[in-house]
Copies of this chain bind each other. A is one copy, B any other.
Amino acid sequence: MKVSQLRTPALVIDADGLEHNLKTMAAALPGARMRPHVKAHKCTALAHRQAQVGHRTFTCATIREVEGMAKAGLGEDLLLANEVVDAGRLSKVDARVTLAVDSEATIEAAAAAGVKEVVIDVNVGLPRCGCMPDDAGRLADLARKKGMQVRGVMGYEGHVVGLDDGETRARLCEESMQLLLAAHKLTGGDLISAGGTGTYACNTWANEIQAGSYVLMDTTYAKLGLPFRQALSVLTTVISVSAAFAVGNCGLKSLGMDHGNPGMDGAMVLFCSDEHITFIPEQPAKVGDLVRVLPAHVDPTIAYHERMHVISGDDVLDTWEVDLRGW
């Protein structure tokens, strides 16, 4: 199949960029030093590629992702790095599942559901989930008392991963990780799990990194000067052209917009509507042209799509289902 035969808007992955990103991360953080976060791509076919380059432990954000990864034969060591109340669903999953807990309530929900292993989720500065560092020991004791094994701690420095300035990013990452290490002293266990694409290189305190975006990238992470290539774009057909601008057939329902407008090479994006993108092209465009739109945020972009196509030049090499969507 040729790229020109794809129904648009279509998520496409540049095969060379993908392979470059896989190899670069596997060289930097081989094997279990990297626990890829599947929330970024929600695609077990892509997770299989990550496993093939050596990462056989994975991070998930939802129970659905855990279920799908287990079904795809990738359940060797899954960390559900999020609190859940309906943990009972995990009892039906045929995989090694470790669950994040940060409160008595989530520990009780985990125990009641028969969860065997947990990590204590620690707030390291991002105002989201996680206990206070000095409460981690109490929660670990409680989890053990309930019969669960405590594998260690996790703490996501999400307020740091996107900072433009590399030195500031590294300094604040260290501050966050000192909090996590302090909590780890109280909990014990083997795992110190943290990190993201923006801190994979500077976070030398965690012993595994939960990066997700690196494998496909987006325009927001591209600004940080990381050694990963933008492999993901939304293939779009030009449907209208006027004197001042052109319009393509992707929009708010094919692009995550929380990081602002997407980018385009050789064009300035004006705005997006539900099924439109209005842009000013440097070279004249015509109706029927195919153009590439570069998402500003990979995760919520992919979550809109049923499938993505791996392409090389004009050829579609493979089509992968985005099979971990929903909840």
A residues near B (Cβ < 8 Å) are: 7-9, 39, 61-62, 82-86, 102-103, 105-106, 109, 123, 127-130, 132, 158, 237, 239-242, 244-245, 247, 249, 252-254, 256-258, 270-276, 278, 286-288, 297, 299-300, 303-304, 306, 326-327
Contact = CB atoms under 8 A, between A and B. Distances in A.
Interface residue SS majority, chain A: loop
Contact of A258 (B247, B270, B272, B303): B272
B129 A240 contact: yes
Contact of A129 (B106, B239, B288, B306): B239
Given A132-B242, A258-B272, 16 more contacts: A39-B274, A39-B275, A61-B274, A62-B275, A82-B249, A83-B240, A83-B247, A103-B240, A105-B287, A106-B240, A127-B245, A127-B270, A128-B240, A256-B257, A257-B300, A274-B299
A128 B274 contact: no
B62 A128 contact: no
Contacts of A102: 240
Nearest to A106: B287
Contacts of A252: 256, 258, 297, 299-300
Contact of A257 (B103, B105, B249, B257): B257
Contacts of A86: 7, 237
A304 B303 contact: yes
Nearest to A258: B257
Contacts of A303: 253, 304
Which of A84, A132, A287, A297 has the most chain B CB atoms inside 10 A of its CB?
A287
B247 A129 contact: yes
A188 to B, nearest CB: 23
A253 B300 contact: yes
